[in-house]
């Protein structure tokens, strides 16, 4: 293999869409800056860029050598596969002009690529990963200046939680005990396990101890998630003892806004030189936070501040590189608590915690377990919940064989029969075999029209009613009602392209709703705006304070009759925006599961394509299921795709 053959393969790999143009451009640019003739360096440089595009923070050479097709997602030609010898790759990187080989993580980085402990990184991802790991280790190992004295904490926890449970371990109380005594803590758990309730109780305890001067910041990755957390916190405060309800903030902002986003720059206003004015920072939906954003957050924290991350470790990882929460929560279900942590937690429960002790060989990653508590009881999805049973089975991979027995039946369920065993589950699958098109799927058409007509009728009612006065409150109340009813039903998809993806289904659903008279027919091919059109913001718009992932609904302004798009802000206020100011939006009758994170819908419909795709994973299916609060429908053109998808896992390479 020579440099010419690698460059020739680059061109063909881009044509086959195995690599991106930017992947093969990287070694070309670096070659202009520092001449490098080694073909292996060019190959590895392009491949690590490819892996970054797929969400990996690094590329491990041993894994690449052992299973290149699995690691990369495509097959290398025999000529390239033959040169993947780990010792040769190691030597090439040691001699490469673009690569800084380091043995100690504290070494200064001056080159665009970093080789450390058998893994190749883009330099900025190495810096981000190292800074996150270093910050967390420092915080876990340090004593917090806000640490609540042990003598006070048990009484405060009892005051908030009441008498200890006699039926089982109160993991919420243990999470409070853990987080109150750490400068860094993670509270993880599935939907309905009480993460928000727990953190509100934690904040109440800290306020009681430190008074009104305690500065608390609340944030979430997206505007949708921030709005949901605002609502959830208000409800959780109402359930506190009356004497502890005051002083807990309910204003939740986005991470970008909290850190002080600087348009068109990678850096933020707040950093180590200009830290956040906070004593406690809480971040919800932490599974959505990518590696570089987490590094920016850690960098902006004052040294004395406490950071609490909330999230479901089993959800999809962030869109950008990294799977930070998943990495940090490895082993959380088993506990893996060392003797000191176990002794501390045992103080707050009468139940024996020895089953959660770490009895294995010490592991660096288990340091994170000493600051993590997993909530295990779902108050939303109990034993009688089909959504809960299905989510747990998918998460455990048991759908491949049979689903476990439930309190409602002595028999195990197959992948399909569980959908008939619970009232809150439904399976739509075509009766005929062979290719099925969405346009021919009568049951899906019926379901979609019935689902979306709820909010579209509220839109039409407001349009037709002359009762809406032109006051700001009347307009906003109507907009809030539309947005609220829109959240009662949502079609989720795995893919962007194809007839079962965002593009195909948005067109199909639009035609169905037009034929049902629920939305206006387009008078020409250029007309895209109409009353009731739901749109998704695809790029951060700092001028309008709209973030990627925000959803708005198009409504006629009661005062002028002209169309506006309404968005609910994190503080609950309504923003009315001219459509002409929204350039990066798309219709969102169908929404990708990735974009749905941080949202909850009364009835969620997950549509899977008719062929298995690398995007279809256990984490995606689980995330789709758990977006539903009351009803879940699976639409499977081929039910076998559902079973196969549950066996595919998202495994991202990282050094955390």
Binding-site residues from annotation: 189-196
**Contact of 190 with 378, CB cutoff 8 Å:** yes
Encoded tokens for 563: 């169309």
Measuring CA to CA, which residue among 193, 190, 203, 157 is closest to residue 329? Answer: 190
Count Cβ neighbours within 10 Å for each residue of 59-77 and write b for 16 or more, e otherwise. bbbeebbeebeebbeeebe
Measuring CA to CA, which residue among 608, 602, 593 is closest to residue 641? Answer: 608
* Burial of residue 569 (number of CB atoms within 10 Å: 0-12, 13-18, 19+): middle
Determine the Cα–Cα distance for residues 59 and 50; give it in Å rounded to an integer.
Answer: 10
Measuring CA to CA, which residue among 526, 591, 505 is closest to residue 552? Answer: 591
Measuring CA to CA, which residue among 417, 407, 367, 394 is closest to residue 184? Answer: 367
What are the residues whose beta carbons fall under 8 Å from the beta carbon of 352, sequence distance 6 or more?
none
**Contact of 40 with 27, CB cutoff 8 Å:** no
614: helix, strand or coil: coil
What are the residues whose beta carbons fall under 8 Å from the beta carbon of 318, sequence distance 6 or more?
55, 287, 288, 289, 290, 291, 293, 324
Determine the Cα–Cα distance for residues 26 and 49; give it in Å rounded to an integer.
Answer: 8
* Burial of residue 357 (number of CB atoms within 10 Å: 0-12, 13-18, 19+): middle
Give the up-direction half-sphere exposure of residue 136: CA atoms within 13 A in the CB hemisphere. 28
**Contact of 605 with 636, CB cutoff 8 Å:** no
Measuring CA to CA, which residue among 545, 308, 125 is closest to residue 297? Answer: 308
In angstroms, how far is CA 110 from the centroid of its own chain? 32
Listing DSSP states for 126-174 in one string gives HHHHHHHHHHHHHHHHSPPTTPPPTTTHHHHHHHHH-SPPSSS--HHHH
**Contact of 426 with 633, CB cutoff 8 Å:** yes
Residue stretches of the annotated binding site for ATP: 189-196
Determine the Cα–Cα distance for residues 61 and 290; give it in Å rounded to an integer.
Answer: 23
Measuring CA to CA, which residue among 184, 179, 176 is closest to residue 140? Answer: 184
Helices (H) and strands (E) in the chain, counts: 24, 20
Listing DSSP states for 389-451 in one string gives HHHHHHHHTGGGS-BPPBTTBSS-B-TTTHHHH-TTEEEE--SS-S---GGG-HHHHHHHHHH
Determine the Cα–Cα distance for residues 93 and 193; give it in Å rounded to an integer.
Answer: 47
Determine the Cα–Cα distance for residues 278 and 519; give it in Å rounded to an integer.
Answer: 47
């Amino acid at each position: 293999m020579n440099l010419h053959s690698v460059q020739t393969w680059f061109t063909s790999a881009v044509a086959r869409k195995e690599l991106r143009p930017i992947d093969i451009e990287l070694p070309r640019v670096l070659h202009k800056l520092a001449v490098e003739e080694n073909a292996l360096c060019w190959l590895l440089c392009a491949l690590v860029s490819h892996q970054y595009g797929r969400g990996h923070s690094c590329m491990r050479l041993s894994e690449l050598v052992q299973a290149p097709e699995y690691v990369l997602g495509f097959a290398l030609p025999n000529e390239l596969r033959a040169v993947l010898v780990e010792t040769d790759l190691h030597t090439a990187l040691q001699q490469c002009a673009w690569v800084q080989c380091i043995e100690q993580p504290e070494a200064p980085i001056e080159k665009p690529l970093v080789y450390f402990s058998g893994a190749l990184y883009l330099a900025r991802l190495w810096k981000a990963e190292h800074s996150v790991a270093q910050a967390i280790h420092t915080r876990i190992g340090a004593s917090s200046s806000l640490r609540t004295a042990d003598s006070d904490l048990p009484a405060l926890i009892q005051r908030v939680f009441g008498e200890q449970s006699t039926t089982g371990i109160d993991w919420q109380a243990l999470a409070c005990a853990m987080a109150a005594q750490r400068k860094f803590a993670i509270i993880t758990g599935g939907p309905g396990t009480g993460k928000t309730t727990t953190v509100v109780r934690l904040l109440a305890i800290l306020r009681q101890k430190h008074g009104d001067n305690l500065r608390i910041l609340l944030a979430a990755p997206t505007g949708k998630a921030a709005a949901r957390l605002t609502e959830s916190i208000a409800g959780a405060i109402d359930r506190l003892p009356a004497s502890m309800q005051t002083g807990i903030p309910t204003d939740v902002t986005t991470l970008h806004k909290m850190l002080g986003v600087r348009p068109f720059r990678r850096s933020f206003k707040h950093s180590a030189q200009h830290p956040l004015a906070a004593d406690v920072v809480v971040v919800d939906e932490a599974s959505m936070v990518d590696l570089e954003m987490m590094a920016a957050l850690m960098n902006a924290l004052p040294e004395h501040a406490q950071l609490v991350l909330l999230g479901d470790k089993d959800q999809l990882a962030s869109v950008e590189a990294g799977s930070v929460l998943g990495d940090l929560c490895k082993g959380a279900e088993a506990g893996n608590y060392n003797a000191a942590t176990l002794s501390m937690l045992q103080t707050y429960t009468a139940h024996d915690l020895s089953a959660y002790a770490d009895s294995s060989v010490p592991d660096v990653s288990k340091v994170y377990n000493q600051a993590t508590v997993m909530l295990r009881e779902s108050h939303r999805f109990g034993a009688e919940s089909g959504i809960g049973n299905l989510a747990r089975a998918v998460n455990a991979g048991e759908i491949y064989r049979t689903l476990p027995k439930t309190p409602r039946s002595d028999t195990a369920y197959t992948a399909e029969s569980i959908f008939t065993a619970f009232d809150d589950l439904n399976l739509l699958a075509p009766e005929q075999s062979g290719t099925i098109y969405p346009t021919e799927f009568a049951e899906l058409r019926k379901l979609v029209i019935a689902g979306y007509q709820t909010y579209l009728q509220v839109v039409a009612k407001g349009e037709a009613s002359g009762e809406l006065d032109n006051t700001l409150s009347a307009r906003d109340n109507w907009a809030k009602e539309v947005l609220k009813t829109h959240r009662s039903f949502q079609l989720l998809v795995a893919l962007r392209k194809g007839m079962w993806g965002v593009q195909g289904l948005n067109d199909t659903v639009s035609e169905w709703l037009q034929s049902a008279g629920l939305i206006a027919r387009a008078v020409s091919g250029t007309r895209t705006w109409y009353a009731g059109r739901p749109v998704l913001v695809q790029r951060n718009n700092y001028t309008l304070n709209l973030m990627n992932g925000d959803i708005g609904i198009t409504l006629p302004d009661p005062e002028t009759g002209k169309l506006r798009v309404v968005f609910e802000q994190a503080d609950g206020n309504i923003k009315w925006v001219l459509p002409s100011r929204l350039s990066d939006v798309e219709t969102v009758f169908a929404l990708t599961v990735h974009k749905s994170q941080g949202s909850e819908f009364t009835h969620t419909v997950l549509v899977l394509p008719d062929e298995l795709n690398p995007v279809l994973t256990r984490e995606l299916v689980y995330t789709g299921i758990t977006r539903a609060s009351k009803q879940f429908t699976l639409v499977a053109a081929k039910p076998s795709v559902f079973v196969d998808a549950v066996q595919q896992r998202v495994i991202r390479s990282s050094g955390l």
